[in-house]
Amino acid sequence: MKAGIMFTGTGPILIVTSYGSFDDPKLVEKLANKGITKFIASELPLDLVKAKYGNHYNVIMGDLKQTDDLRVLDYNGYNVFHSFSFKEMGKPIYHE
């Protein structure tokens, strides 16, 4: 599993995915189907995300209504942006 911040046109979201990278064509297609066609993605350490989101992480990961390959952990852009420092983020991936 990978966790990361995706900076989109409507603001940052925090996702968890089983895809190997944030530029995987299947992930990009899935995001495009949700209206996200342009983004900057930065990976975050999964353990750090689990620690900061605690039980909310477990609830989202246990939600059987969502697919296993992509989970939105947080879509509150302010919260996502201010929960992680830039030095905690991996090298950005640009997609348009």
| Whole-number pLDDT of residue 64 | 56
> Coil, strand or helix: which one is 71?
strand
pLDDT, average across residues 88-93: 96
1-40 confidence digits (pLDDT tens): 899 999 999 999 999 998 999 999 999 999 999 899 999 9
Q: Would you say residue 73 has pLDDT above 60?
A: yes
Domain boundaries, the chain: 2-95
Q: CA-based angle 67:71:73, to the nearest 5?
A: 150
Q: Are 2 and 69 in contact (CB under 8 A)?
A: no
pLDDT at 51: 94
The pLDDT value given to residue 69: 84
pLDDT in tens, 35-72: 999 999 999 999 999 999 998 888 888 875 666 688 89
Which residues, 6+ apart, have CB-to-CB distance to 42 below 8 Å?
4, 5, 7, 89, 90, 91, 92, 93
Distance (Å, rounded) from C-alpha 96 to C-alpha 84?
24
Sequence-distant (≥ 6) Cβ neighbours of residue 63 within 8 angstroms: 71
| DSSP code, position 86 | G
